[in-house]
Amino acid sequence: MTKKINIGILGYGNLGKGVELAISKNEDMNLVGIFSRRDPKNIQTIFNKTKTFSLKSLEEFKEKIDVLILCGGSRNDLPLQGPKYAKEFNTVDSFDTHAKIPEYFKSIDSVAKSNKKVALISVGWDPGIFSINRVFFEALVPDGASYTFWGKGLSQGHSDAIRKVEGVKLGVQYTIPSNEVINEVRSGKRPDLPPYKRHKRECYVVLKEGADSKEVEKNIVTMPDYFADYETKVHFINEEEFTKNHNKMPHGGFVIRSANSSQEHNQVMEFSLKLDSNPEFTASVLVAYARACYRLSKSGNFGAKTVFDVAPSLVSIKTDEELRAQML
């Protein structure tokens, strides 16, 4: 092992914590420290040895950090941080507002190029690993149909929506893919169904004292955009059960393609994830791609990039010779 890759973490929520954990699992990586808007003295890290710094001091680390992993949110943090930090650092982020990716890419590409930096954007599992499978599947057998199913998993946006309903004290929402539709697709059928026919929603709610469960249920299942189109079940539970069984962030899903290589022959390709922890997995993906980001910068391949631009060998700790001998 030669020089380690020096990583900085910007932002320390669930994703930043996951990145701290993931770096400890990769022996070619060194965590320089966590940079946060909060007072660094008040940040409780997972590992005692992890250093914390004020975001204001980040500039002093320009020469000490090979890749800065941006762990902020897609709505408020990354649209500003992405272009800003691509001036001074190689960056990796998990920007996941699918519709705005082209615009986000554009806001970073020329900045990164003119400063000779690599900005690897929209890394994670969707967008990310799922996207790679969608591209491979379509390219491998073009005459067919691809499907993405999400879940079973906790949806942060839908859980937030439930918690805004009057009378709700605590609430979470799980997205559940339809097993019937999955099995249809696996069997070679190609149903033409919108997402709300391919998924169900299950809500677990703790009521505020005196709240009317019928009223709360009605306000949830009829909520436009979030629930109205979907088959939605609301379960009312007590606080003890909620705290015990609904404090995790599992997620996952499936990308499935059914396609014809000839009139007679159907080919089914499937990729799936079953994640105990959504943020820890996303963080693990970010760290593997930080390796790729570092290597792209070393080879002078600057600019904004996505997972589509990264050859598999670039994410692996193994050498090309080891990969050919052990993994092909």
Out of 36, 107, 173, 284, the only residue in the binding site for its own copies (CB under 8 A) is 284
3-class secondary-structure state, position 271: strand
Q: For residue 84, state whether it binds its own copies (rule: CB under 8 A).
A: no
Q: For residue 136, state whether it binds its own copies (rule: CB under 8 A).
A: yes
Length of the chain: 328
Sorted by sequence, the CB contacts under 8 Å of residue 181 that are 6+ apart come out as: 147, 149, 191, 193, 197, 198
> How would you classify residue 324: left for phi > 0, otherwise alpha for psi between -120 and 50, otherwise beta?
alpha
Assigned token pair, 88: 């001074």
Out of 56, 194, 264, 300, the only residue in the binding site for its own copies (CB under 8 A) is 264
Q: For residue 30, state whether it binds its own copies (rule: CB under 8 A).
A: no
Nearer to its own copies by Cβ, of 7 and 283: the residue is 283
Minimum separation from the CB atom of position 132 to its own copies (A) = 5
Nearer to its own copies by Cβ, of 191 and 312: the residue is 312
Q: For residue 308, state whether it binds its own copies (rule: CB under 8 A).
A: yes
Q: For residue 220, state whether it binds its own copies (rule: CB under 8 A).
A: no
Q: Is 267 exposed, middle or buried (0-12, 13-18, 19+ CB in 10 A)?
A: middle
Assigned token pair, 185: 């697709």
In this structure, the strands spanning 168-177 and 199-207 are: antiparallel
Minimum separation from the CB atom of position 201 to its own copies (A) = 23
Q: Which residues bind its own copies (CB under 8 A)?
A: 18, 21-22, 25-26, 98, 101-102, 105, 122, 127, 129, 131-136, 138-143, 186, 261-262, 264-277, 280-281, 283-285, 288, 291, 306-313, 315-318, 320-321, 323-325, 327-328
